[in-house]
Amino acid sequence: MRDAFDTVNPIVAFVFFAFALIMPMLVMHPVLLGISLACALAWLFILRGKRAWGYILKFALPVMLLTAVMNPLFNHAGVTILFYLRHNPITLESIVYGVASAGMLASVVLWFACFNAIFTSDKIVYLLGRFAPSLSLVLSMALRFVPLFSHQAKRIAQAQRGAGMGTRGGSILARARNGLSILSSLITWALESSVTTADSMRSRGYGLHPRRSFANYRFDGRDALVGGLLALGMLCTALASYFKLIGIRFFPSYKANEATPLFIAFCVIYALTLLIPVMMNSIEAYRWHLLRSRI
């Protein structure tokens, strides 16, 4: 099934991801990091199902472990010395900081996993096409060339095999030589056909119009709603950081804000903002459920 957030206008989606990715890096408050991590995980499980475990085990966990271990070993700042390891003080603050930065990295990695699922190449080309038309054209052409080249490589290999110069038989050296000759003719073909493509583009009037993209996203009422909620969340974040609600200090001694009612209110707002995609999915699922139950 298509994710509910997938159909949102790419500009709104991009702002959402920018917010979700930059916040953990800017404010390494443990509570906010936990919220960010939980929201990213919830969405990732909706997006990928069981395959989300692969992301967690392969990308997030190693990064977390590395950071959490490395920081206390190399960072000796902080006033609360727990013990000495080969004359180097291991401090409570650096351990806390290591854990916090591990959480930060994990949430960034998981948000990027969601980003990869949502931001397909056509959206990137759509976003870039406005202010970098040439680059986005190169991007979309390169993306198309990759499968084209592998297809052409197969065709060349088949032809070579028909001529008795395949990569299946013969000594290793002969096979390598035949493989290289396949690569060589592939490259020549690719370069020549690129010029043909360019001529064809030119004769169809490339460069006369401003760039337009294949996918045309409208900015509809739902985009406005999502964008408005997002803007509200970002405004609250800016206000919270202006009034020093979410400040945190690790060195020389750890100091975070106490759980004042205002801080808790901000946490709720932050969580709701990051949960926009998850909420959209559940609304969609609920609507589907209603439709089905009516039949």
Partner 1 sequence: MQKEFAEKPNTAAARPEPAADERVLAAERLRARQAAEEKKRRLIRRIVSAVLILVFVPSVILVGLLEWHDRQFYIVSMLIIALSMVPFFFMFEKRRPRARELTLIAVMVALGVAGRAAFYMLPHFKPIAAIVIITGVSLGSEAGFITGALTAFVSNMFFGQGPWTPWQMFALGLIGFLSGILFNDQITTKLKLFLLCAYGAFVTVGIYGQIVDTQVVFSSAQNVTWEMFLAVYASGLPVNLVFASATVLFLLLLTKPLLNKLGRIKKKHGVFR
- Minimum CB distance to partner 1, residue 172 (Å): 16
Residue nearer to partner 1 on the CB measure, 25 or 265: 25
Considering the complex, state which of residue 152 and residue 279 has its C-beta at the smaller distance from partner 1: 152
Query: Is the CB of 187 or the CB of 232 nearer to partner 1?
Result: 187
d(Cα 228, Cα 222) in Å, to the nearest integer? Answer: 10
Considering the complex, state which of residue 145 and residue 222 has its C-beta at the smaller distance from partner 1: 145
Whole-number minimum distance, CB 76 to partner 1, in Å?
Answer: 8
Smaller CB separation from partner 1, 100 or 223: 100
Residue written as tokens 């790419």? 10
Q: Which residue has the tokens 């206390």?
A: 72
Residue 93 contacts residue 80 (beta carbons within 8 Å): yes
Residue 224: count of CB within 10 angstroms of its CB: 12
To partner 1, the closest distance from the beta carbon of 286 in angstroms equals: 32
Nearest approach, Cβ of 156 to partner 1 (angstroms)? Answer: 13
Query: Quick one: 71 or 213, whose CB is closer to partner 1?
Result: 71
Q: Rounded CA gap, 159 and 166, in Å?
A: 8
Residue 230 in tokens: 């997002």
The answer to whether the beta carbons of residues 79 and 91 sit under 8 Å apart is yes
Sequence-ordered alpha helix ranges (H) in the chain: 10-26, 30-48, 52-55, 61-74, 92-118, 121-131, 133-162, 172-203, 221-242, 261-274, 276-294
CB of 175 to partner 1, least distance (A): 15
Residue 21 has which token pair? 């990715």
φ, ψ for residue 227 (rounded to 5)? -60, -40
| CA atoms within 13 Å, Cβ hemisphere of 274 | 31
> CA–CA distance from 252 to each of 32, 77, 91 (Å)?
21, 6, 10
In whole angstroms, the minimum distance from the beta carbon of 224 to partner 1 comes to 28
Closest CA to 231 of 19, 3, 8: 19
Q: What is the DSSP letter of 5?
A: G
Angle, helices 261-274/30-48, rounded to nearest 10 degrees:
20
Question: Between 154 and 289, whose beta carbon lies closer to partner 1?
Answer: 154
Residues that bind partner 1 (CB under 8 A): 22, 25-26, 59, 63, 66-67, 70-71, 74-75, 77, 97-98, 101-102, 104-105, 108-109, 112-113, 115-116, 119, 121, 124, 131-135, 137-139, 141-143, 145-146, 148-150, 180, 184, 187-188, 190-192, 194-195, 197-199, 201-202, 206-207, 250-251
Taking the least distance from each CB to partner 1, the nearer of 45 and 115 is 115
- Closest distance to partner 1 from the beta carbon of 212 (Å): 16
The least CB distance from residue 60 to partner 1, in Å, is: 11
In sequence order, what E strands does the chain have? 81-85, 88-91, 248-249, 255-256
